[in-house]
A and B are shown apart, each in its own frame.
Chain A
Amino acid sequence: MSLAPAGEFHPSYRADMTIFPTKNSRRALMLGIFLLCFAPLVLGRYELGLLINIGFMGIAALGLNILVGFTGQISIGHAAFFGVGAFLSAYLHERFHIPVILCIPLAGLGTAVVGLIFGLPAARLKGLYLAIATLAAQFILEDFFARAQWFTGGVAGRMTEAVELFGVKFDREESYFYVVLAFTIIMFVMAANLMRTRDGRALIAVRDHYLSAEVMGINLAYYRTLSFAISSFYAGIAGALYAHYLFFVSVEAFNILFSIQFLAMVIIGGLGSVMGSLMGAAFMVLMPEGVQALADLLAGSWIDRTLKLGTSISFLREMAIGAAIILFLVFEPDGLAHRWKQIKAYWKLYPFSH
């Protein structure tokens, strides 16, 4: 049966926890992934580059969503953990000659350890205090990147190598797309499943009401730090994917603005939604490109001349990000994932929505 009954109606726990409510939704996802496999054949390298960006940004955003959306913690140092993953993967390959494809998960694990250390205050702090503690992580790590010549190449940055598997180099968009696609699917399936386990439900319980959770026997300190480690693991994997895509990592990329961008992705996509993380990442990757295209159209046009914009046009891109966050908070506080659900509900119930 491909139709879902009206309302919340689950005869068993199994049905309640399912990822795919209907057979068609499973088929639709399979078809989507199947079609994506053909993307390198039809899309240009620019479009593929955007998809790759959405892929690893989505993974990092999902990590932050586990922390912010599912556990109710806050982190404004996510970009620093992303950076740890990027540098660590490059370092592991260069120093120990570990194949890049193994460096990526290892970088994830290493970042999880770093995240565990910086997440320790989370066991005791919450809210604004935790925000400031993670801000410290951001600055400590950023400063470390700039000075640890042996690890990051200092302020000049570090070159990275392409993923190589069975003698095939994944150094072009057409091929690297598959690497990112595979990692994205694995990471998203893992997150979706995590939320169905005891640990995942514990995280949500901590978010919904920490006191009730503690009364129910959930170890607050344990789950709060665990959430940090998982979130950093995701950031590390994403950072490593980024490093081996760009072939160059430098400290400048992992600044606080980048951390804020991750937060924006999570808010825009939808707090506490696995799918929303990907939507938010897609939005934040595509919007600057759209604004850039608009700015290019605007440059030299009559609007440019009358308003004397000139080089100020370059700032449109930066301003658009800020504006997007504000507009989403005002008009779409539940994020894109919620809007998507409403669109689906509209068609499902059409024409008898009320």
Chain B
Amino acid sequence: MKKTILAAALALALPAAAQQRTPIGHLMDNSGPTSDVGVPYGQGVADTLAWANANNRGRPMNVLGFDYGYQAPRAVSQYQAWSRDRVAAIQGWGTVDTEALVRFVTRDRIPYISGSYSAALTDAGGRSGRPGIEAAPYNFFYGPSYSDALRAMLIWARDDWRARGQAGAPRYVHMGANHPYPNSPKEAGETLARELGFEVLPAIQFALTPGDYTAQCLTLRSGGAHYAYLGNTAGSNISVLRACQTAGVQVQFLGNVWGMDENAMKAAGVAANGVVFPVRTSAVWGQQAPGMANVQAISRVSDTAGTAYRPVHYLAGVCSAMLMVEAMESAAENAGAVTGERIRNGFYARQNWVPRGFEGVCAPSNFTPTDHRGTMSVPLFRARVTGDTTAGSVAELVAAGTIRLEPVATITLDRRADWLGW
């Protein structure tokens, strides 16, 4: 009898020991308006953290996942629950919630790696002096900011306009929902567009959810736009692309980093053909790179058969999660405590930072205590859809070459001080 009690006590004590793992919050949108891209990204982050735990990368973590349905208030209340659980870092998601939490994570010193690339999060030292921009010393993200990505696309668009030998000034228009996420690069994009000699048309609004956007397409046509930025996520962008195809509107669309992926190309079909958008990783699924073996191992965490096709957002999730894992590794060096402050300093420990074992997949990042623009280099790709996409799965369509991501150009922007936090 005593033995059983002892065994039971032991069994109870073991999970308690497992709870020594560092708690990490993981905020996902699996059910809200941005779940189209939130699901693959969140899966990438979750799989990577599970893989890191299994392969002793960084410190053992206890990952607390939460689906907040893209509702900022839910994210804020969840954050408050996590801050009580003393999470060491958080993998976040949307722009509204991330920006709302800036003050909280700064106060509580919790590094926050967001899926939002809003430029407002890059001003780590609060030195930009831009109105309404607060110092965000604990906010990080992997990839170019929304504003920088749009700037790169505009520079490409100007070159494209010249290369095609077109006369006159090209017309540019910003499209997206009235929501902090699509609004984030609006002003930056329109300002640079004017500097580059574009004629800027009044912005066109469409909701974050799929719908009938024929009216928006007709506005595009009547305005005579040549280049249009799609600020939303894939789901609603597809609606615009299809509506514009039906209406016969010929515009060069520039997609936001979350605005296009392989799933969206399949859903939109040939309507997505030609869309130019930034890809954050140096390689996409199915390409060869030294780090790809690890990405495939990570993919098998949630897909034991190893047959799933992983869109670009999954790979971006892998890289974002690995940055945090390695920053925690740095924090734990010399038997240090894994505190939020030390994890943040871990982000500054490396130059041209590519997580170990992910060479050729993750693009190099550089963070400094005053500037959290991880990269100024923006690789642009063009979506190529050459046939019927209803027949097969994404993997089959990619294998058959019906869906292709075609490299267009890599634009490297100057790290201009006046672009910090904007």
Cβ contact within 8 Å between B80 and A250: no
Interface residue stretch chosen among B70-78, B194-202, B242-250, B343-351: B70-78
- Footprint of B on A, CB under 8 Å? 45-46, 49, 146-147, 155-157, 159, 246-250, 252-253, 311, 314-315, 318
Interface membership of B411, Cβ < 8 A: no
B216, chain A: closest CB distance, angstroms: 18
Give min CB distance, B275 to chain A, whole Å: 26
In the complex, A45→B81 CA distance in Å? 8
**What's the minimum C-beta distance from B288 to chain A, rounded to whole angstroms?**
29
Q: Which chain B residue shows the least CB distance to A318? A: B31
A155 to B71, CA, bound (A): 12
CB <8 Å contact, A252 and B73: yes
Give the chain A neighbours of B179 by CB distance below 8 A: 155
Q: Does B330 contact A (CB under 8 A)?
A: no
Chain B contact residues: over half helix, strand or loop, or mixed? helix
B232 interface residue (CB < 8 Å to A): no
Show 24 residue pairs from A and B whose CB-CB distance is below 8 angstroms, ordered by the A residue: A46-B81, A147-B178, A155-B178, A156-B96, A156-B99, A157-B96, A157-B100, A159-B100, A247-B76, A249-B73, A250-B73, A250-B100, A252-B71, A252-B73, A252-B96, A253-B72, A311-B30, A311-B31, A311-B35, A311-B39, A314-B30, A314-B31, A314-B67, A315-B31
B-side contacts of A46, CB under 8 Å: 81, 84
Closest 10 CB pairs of A and B: A314-B67, A253-B73, A314-B30, A314-B31, A311-B30, A156-B180, A250-B72, A248-B76, A248-B100, A45-B84
Q: Is the CB of A159 within 8 A of B103?
A: yes
Q: Is B183 an interface residue (CB 8 A)?
A: yes
A329 to chain B, nearest CB (A): 25
Q: Give per-residue flags for B84-110: 1 if the beta carbon is below 8 A from chain A beta carbons, else 0.
A: 100000000000100110011000000
Residues of B within 8 A of A147 (CB): 178
B interface, CB within 8 angstroms of A: 30-31, 35, 39, 43, 67, 69, 71-73, 76-77, 80-81, 84, 96, 99-100, 103-104, 178-180, 183
Residues of the A chain whose Cβ atoms lie less than 8 Å from the Cβ of B99: 156
Contacts A250-B73, A315-B31 hold; do A49 and B81 have CB atoms under 8 A apart? Answer: yes
In Å, the complex CA distance between A66 and B35 comes to 38
Q: Which of A45, A49, A252, A315 contacts B72 (CB 8 A)?
A: A252
User: Interface on chain A toward B: helix, strand, loop, or mixed SS?
Assistant: helix
In the assembled complex, how far is the CB of residue B314 from the closest CB belonging to chain A, in whole angstroms? Answer: 13
User: In the bound complex, do residue A155 and residue B183 qualify as a contact, i.e. CB atoms below 8 Å apart?
Assistant: yes
User: Which single residue of chain A is at the shortest CB-CB distance from B179?
Assistant: A155
- Are A49 and B80 touching (Cβ within 8 A)? yes
Tell me, rounded to whole Å, the shortest Cβ–Cβ distance linking A282 to chain B: 17
Measured in the bound complex, the distance between the Cα atoms of B57 and A93 in whole Å is 48
Residues of A within 8 A of B73 (CB): 246, 248-250, 252-253
Please name the residue on chain B nearest to A295 by beta carbon. Answer: B67
Q: Which residue of B lies closest to A257 (CB)?
A: B71
- Given A155-B96, A156-B96, A156-B180, A248 and B31 touching (CB < 8 A)? no
Residues of B within 8 A of A252 (CB): 71-73, 96
Q: Which residues of A contact B178 (CB under 8 A)?
A: 146-147, 155
B207 to chain A, nearest CB (A): 12
Evaluate contact between A253 and B84: CB separation under 8 angstroms: no
B76 in contact with A246 (CB, 8 Å): yes
Q: Are B77 and A246 in contact (CB under 8 A)?
A: yes
Q: For B31, what are the chain A residues with a Cβ–Cβ distance below 8 Å? A: 311, 314-315, 318
Question: In the bound complex, what is the Cα–Cα distance between A247 and B73 (angstroms)?
Answer: 10
B422 smallest CB distance to A (angstroms): 15
Find the residue from B31, B69, B73, B76 having the highest chain A CB count within 10 A. B73
Q: Which residues of A contact B100 (CB under 8 A)?
A: 156-157, 159, 248, 250
Docked Cα-Cα span, A320 to B282, in Å, equals 43
When distances are taken between beta carbons in the complex, the residues of chain B under 8 Å from A311 are: 30-31, 35, 39, 43, 67
In the complex, are the beta carbons of B81 and A157 less than 8 A apart?
A: no
Q: Complex Cα distance A253/B103, Å?
A: 20
Contacts of B183 in A (CB 8 A): 155
With A155-B96, A157-B96 given, name 20 new contacts (CB 8 A): A45-B84, A49-B77, A146-B178, A155-B178, A156-B180, A157-B100, A159-B100, A246-B80, A247-B76, A247-B104, A248-B72, A249-B73, A250-B100, A252-B71, A253-B72, A253-B73, A311-B31, A311-B39, A311-B43, A311-B67
**How far is B396's CA from A227's CA once the two chains are assembled, in angstroms?**
62
Q: How far is the CA of A152 from the CA of B382 in the complex (A)?
A: 39
> B69 to chain A: which residues have CB within 8 Å?
314, 318
Residues of B close to A248: CB separation below 8 A:
72-73, 76, 100
In the complex where A155-B178, A159-B103 touch, is A250 in contact with B67 (Cβ < 8 A)? no
Contact A157 B30 (CB under 8 A): no
Give the chain B neighbours of A156 by CB distance below 8 A.
Answer: 96, 99-100, 180
Given the complex of chains A and B, what is the CA–CA distance between A45 and B71 in angstroms?
A: 22
